[in-house]
Amino acid sequence: MRRLVLVLVVVMCAVMVGCQAQKTAPTINLNAYDHYDVDTTKASFSDRDIVLSIAPNKRRSGPVIGFILAIENKSTSEAFLDWGKTYFLENGNARGGFMFEGVRFIDREASKPPLLILPGATHVIEVFPNSRVERISGVGWINTILKDGTFGMYATVTVGNREKRMRVLTKECFNIFPLPVDVESRKKSHSQVHHA
């Protein structure tokens, strides 16, 4: 019995010492959407055949690292998004293409088959800029944060035998201390459609 009590006392002391050694400084969560001021008034394109839009993508409740791309094919023909002619835009400049689920980080610059959107269908996919990737020793490949700039996509979509080019943009500003949000004006900005 004395051994059991002695063992329990030693274990409790070790746990108490271990817990005290693991005190950490408080952290600030900078990953909330509230810290982003996003202008999406030019984030959509629409014509008689296609509706294409992007929205900032906060994957796994982290910072914005890409877009959620939605393409609706309103035509009676097949539509194809040509990844080889679709570019990530950063502050007015083309900065390479995109990667998405199924593309390995190491192969992100390789050619990709076009994305098929059937007549009357909508396709939604997460896309990440190829140029916004880093390899961190001991961690691996990561997508880097999009903040403080105008980001978007220059997309090439073929519908039937017609090739269409469209530009969609979002402006993002990262604020540690966000200003109050006017919900009504934000709703209006999300409902506007940009025609390229």
Where residue 110 sits, what CATH number does that domain have? 2.60.40
pLDDT at position 166 over 90: yes
109 vs 119, more confident: 119
Pick from 30, 52, 61: nearest CA to 147: 30
How would you label 140-152 residue by residue, b for 16+ Cβ within 10 Å and e otherwise?
eeebeebbeeebb
| CA–CA gap between residue 112 and residue 84 (Å, rounded) | 7
Is 143 within a domain? Answer: yes
> Could you list the residue range(s) of the whole structural domain that residue 156 is in?
32-191
Residue 12: band (very low, low, confident or very high) from pLDDT cuts 50, 70, 90: low
Is 137 within a domain? Answer: yes
Is 11 within a domain? Answer: no
Domain count, the chain: 1
pLDDT at position 119 over 70: yes
pLDDT at position 24 over 60: no
User: What percent of the chain stands above pLDDT 90?
Assistant: 39
pLDDT at position 103 over 60: yes
Phi, psi of 123 (to 5 degrees): -115, 130
Per-residue model confidence (pLDDT) at position 170: 82
A 10 A CB-CB count for 77 gives 14
Is 92 within a domain? Answer: yes
Per-residue model confidence (pLDDT) at position 21: 38
Is 5 within a domain? Answer: no
pLDDT tens track for 57-90: 876 666 788 889 999 999 999 999 999 999 999 9
Is 1 within a domain? Answer: no
A 10 A CB-CB count for 20 gives 8
Is 127 within a domain? Answer: yes
| CA–CA gap between residue 152 and residue 163 (Å, rounded) | 19
Is 19 within a domain? Answer: no
| CA–CA gap between residue 173 and residue 45 (Å, rounded) | 22
